[in-house]
A and B are shown apart, each in its own frame.
Chain A
Amino acid sequence: MLFDRPGGIAADRDNTACAMSRRVFLKTGVAAAGGLMLGFGFPALLGEAAAEAPDSFSPNAFIRIGTDGSVTLTMPYVEMGQGAYTSISMLIAEELEVGMSQVRLEHAPPNEKLYGNPVLGGIQATGNSNAIRAAWGPLRQAGATARVMLIAAAAQRWRVEPSSCHAERGKVVHSASARRIKYGDLAGAAARLPIPEKVALKRPEEFKLIGTPAKRLDAPSKVNGTAVYGIDVRPLGVKIATLAQSPVFGGRLKSVDDTAAKAIKGVRQIVQLDDAVAVVADHMGAAKKGLAALSIEWDNGPNATLSTDDIARDLEKGTLHPGAVAQNVGDVVKAMAAAVSKVDSIYRVPFLAHATMEPMNCTVEVRKDSCEVWVGNQAIARAQATAAKTTGLPLDKVVVHNHLIGGGFGRRLEIDGITRAVQIAMHVEGPVKVVWTREEDIQHDMYRPYFFDRISAGLDRAGMPVAWTHRFAGSSILARWLPPAFNNGLDGDTTDGAIHRLYDLPNVRVEYLRMEPPGIPTAFWRSVGPSHNVFVVESFMDELAAIAKKDPVDYRRVLLEKAPRAKAVLELVAEKANWGQPLPQGSGRGVSTQFVFGTYMAHVAEVEVSKEGGVRVRRVVCALDCGSIVNPDTVRAQVQGAVIFGISAALYGEITLKDGRVEQTNFNTYQVLRMNEAPTIEVHLIQNTEPPGGMGEPGTSAIVPAVTNAIFAATGKRLRKLPVDPAELKHA
């Protein structure tokens, strides 16, 4: 196997490296089983200097063209529902001139050196809506290079000019002599050719696949029950465990009486750890019954009395002090003093759980000199590293099998569950599958942080903003997850969506204070930084429009004169949503505009508020410009899903702490949107040939303020704290 040794293709013979463009490099060689192997690298955002030195270049993705004509792509992204595998296959197939069915994708085995995701600073992970953004250039380059080399190999064999040949459907064709050869028969010869200096990529008008709604490759197995998620693995002799972790974060296990549990049929073993206890059984039914029969005493530790109010109060106090300056334009102090009027608001967003449909789980077998892990995870090299560290085994003795992911949303960028499963497995003979109950999954998540925001604007005589200040406090995920990305008190994620990139504001100051809450872990959550900032900025923009007595769409449009792509999506959404047309009493429309993850997006939400204060989102219209569209159907699906995810958070999402414990337990107390509450969702795409923007996340951040702005339009109540509280909206 090629990947058994570090370095892989880079160490193969016949290697030559050359720069395809400033930031894309390729290496070729003969594949282990014959055929052409092409290794290439995704450009780096962090550590860019290293990536630009060809000598130190080692590829992080590989295309293998077998002697049977098969095309296999090994790469670092995981499929977690976002359709990445299908879109990525389209990029390769387009330039290589093969059918989608010929392309096979392999999960990359863990190896941070080879597969580190450049947009995530070299971490092997899928997240930040970046799979297509990172793959767009390099994958097409690599596909085109392989095509040119296969054509060259055929031309050499036929002794004709390469320019007289072309590629189609996995073959090289010489039209003049009506000869054709399959890629598989050329792969070996192509591998010995030098890499061409330059290859021309197709022009957008030549695309056959890109821009068409290709069928998802993973769908058939997901409708007949054969798809294998991490929770479905069944290594021979596997036992099932479930666990209780200290309900207060930072607490310890004091004592366990397991007499009753051990008497339950199918219960095999009770494992006690410093801060958790697990019941190992023949099946989950017995494990759960055993867990319920345990009598556990906890030492609650330092966070025993912690509540969400304590955390909120600390953040509120924190924002009385200046933070790190994320954006400073003009002179806000002077402009604020000269303003005709001033508006000040305070906004708050809560902790949120991910509640992926597949509860946390991980299967592990720890042997004397090795360890095997079966899991679905977005950061697979970290999974391997924590298993090695926890067991004390060298990295190369840990094998990780990655699987389909039953919902990521940021949760599976973390490896806490893998560490825990390995700790348990170290006490168990043979493989053990550790499955979190839903309660344990919700109460021991790592949460979207709570944020406290102070925001102010100075207005001119016409009611337009001449000064804008925004200061907010909360946790920085990147400071923990990727420390080099946190500098001078700032990181690119936490402030994303707060820094103005659209509105033409003459004087702006945005400040962030990193304040880590005690007693509750935080993590990335779908739409990350923008998930809180866009709510604040777009709600406040709506407040300003209302104060100026101007239409919210018109007000924004005036400020978007220098952002034509944003203005275009705003105008399109207004037109499609019948903006300005009357609605019945108790109903209203709200708008939002944003530019995050490289995508321009505007939403209009239409809501209905009952006398009891119940909110029903009836209709959502979205217009977006994400540059080049690889798979338009996937883009629509991602918006539809992201909108539902955002409405769930806006209407219901809230994790609270009382006595140091998470109060929510399951889908009855941590509610999410259901079929009977789902709005109609219309998605309008603006087509162009700009580089692609991310699509997995922006729909979530954009919908939240559209909903609360619609509630304002319907009721006159401005909501500055999430989730929506029906008690605030009750009216006679």
Chain B
Amino acid sequence: MDITIKVNGAEHKVDVDGDTPLLWVLRDVLGMTGTKFGCGLALCGACTVHVNGVATRSCVTPVESVGNSEVTTIEAIGRTSSGREIQRAWLDLEVVQCGYCQSGQIMSAVALLASNLHPSDSDIDAAMSGNICRCGTYVRIREAIKHAATSSAATG
């Protein structure tokens, strides 16, 4: 069955079962490996992408459920202003260690910032607690989100 999905502005036709998780379509069929596999059960957030701007765990999202929605992945998140701010904040505050979970962390953080320009600590907890980091970069992720919020506010 051919399924058409729109990823980062481009349409792709893929020949997979409709219940195939979006994650594997991205990684193994389309070769977009920036989105990571961590748990397969929406427990760790490594696979987070945006579906119409909403942070979504691609490991439990059947590809057939995406329909005409716009899928955005880490590869293209820098094209949005919140994406750029978050990526810059991640570098300014040296957030990454092994880096494996950071695609998912950044996607969750961008979704938060896009909908909330001044996230409080509890907003950050709510938006980010689904993303596990085993290197333990939480302290810096929190600072980086606040840093990005401040600079987006400054640049308007």
CA distance A81 to B96 in the complex (A): 7
Q: At the interface, yes or no: A219 with Cβ under 8 Å from chain B?
A: yes
Q: Is A285 an interface position by the 8 A CB rule?
A: yes
Chain B residues 20 to 38 lying within 8 A of chain A, measured CB to CB, are 20-21, 23-25, 27-29, 31-38
Please measure, in the bound complex, the distance between the C-alpha atom of A708 and the C-alpha atom of B132, giving whole angstroms.
23
CB neighbours of B32 from chain A (8 A): 225
> B58-79: contact bitstring with A at CB < 8 Å (1 yes, 0 no)?
0000000000000001110110
For residue B138, which residue of chain A has the nearest CB?
Answer: A678
Task: Say whether A283 faces chain B, with CB atoms less than 8 Å apart.
Answer: yes
User: Is A674 close to B, CB under 8 A?
Assistant: yes
Q: Evaluate contact between A288 and B136: CB separation under 8 angstroms.
A: no
Which of A266, A288, A404, A641 is within 8 Å of B135, CB to CB? A641
* Minimum Cβ distance to chain B for residue A215 (Å): 7
Q: Which residues of B contact A286 (CB under 8 A)?
A: 16-17, 20, 24
Contact B28 A284 (CB under 8 A): yes
Report yes or no: B33 in contact with A234, Cβ–Cβ below 8 A.
Answer: yes
**Contact count band on A:** 35 or more
Q: Please give the number of chain B residues whose Cβ is less than 8 angstroms from any Cβ of chain A in the complex.
A: 62
Residues of A close to B41: CB separation below 8 A: 438, 666-668
Residues of chain A lying within 8 A (CB to CB) of residue B137: 637, 640-641
Total of A-B residue pairs, C-beta within 8 Å? 201
Stretch at the interface among A191-199, A352-360, A572-580: A352-360
Q: A177 at interface (Cβ–Cβ under 8 A)? A: no
Contact with B along A230-260 (1 / 0, CB 8 A): 0110100000100000000000000000000
Q: A438-B40, A645-B136, A667-B132 are in contact. Are A675 and B142 (CB under 8 A)?
A: yes
Residue of A whose beta carbon sits closest to that of B62: A285
Contact B16 A80 (CB under 8 A): no
A407-B135 in contact (CB<8A): yes
Residues of A within 8 A of B134 (CB): 355-357, 407, 409, 645, 672
Please tell me which one of the listed residues B21, B102, B126, B138 contacts residue A222 in the complex, with CB atoms under 8 A apart. B102
The distance from the CB of B126 to the nearest CB of chain A, in whole angstroms, is 8
Given contacts A357-B101, A407-B100, contact A226 B91 (CB under 8 A): no
Is A640 touching B33 in the complex (CB atoms < 8 A)?
Answer: no
Q: Which one of B95, B132, B139, B141 contacts A357 once the chains associate, using CB atoms below 8 Å?
A: B132
Query: Is B124's beta carbon under 8 Å from chain A?
Result: yes
Give chain A nearest CB distance to B88 CB in angstroms.
Answer: 9
Once the chains are docked, how many angstroms separate the CA of A536 from the CA of B19? 50
Is A282 in contact with chain B by the CB < 8 A criterion?
yes
Known: A285-B17, A286-B20, A357-B36. A225 touches B136 (CB 8 A): no
Question: Which 4 residue pairs of A and B lie closest in terms of their CB atoms, listed nearest first?
Answer: A225-B34, A644-B136, A81-B98, A406-B100
Known: A282-B16, A285-B23, A358-B100. 15 other contacts (CB 8 A): A82-B97, A219-B90, A223-B90, A223-B91, A223-B106, A224-B77, A231-B36, A407-B135, A437-B40, A637-B94, A640-B139, A642-B136, A666-B43, A673-B138, A676-B129
Q: Which residues of B contact A (CB under 8 A)?
A: 16-17, 19-21, 23-25, 27-29, 31-41, 43-44, 46, 73-75, 77-78, 87, 90-91, 94-103, 106, 124-126, 128-142
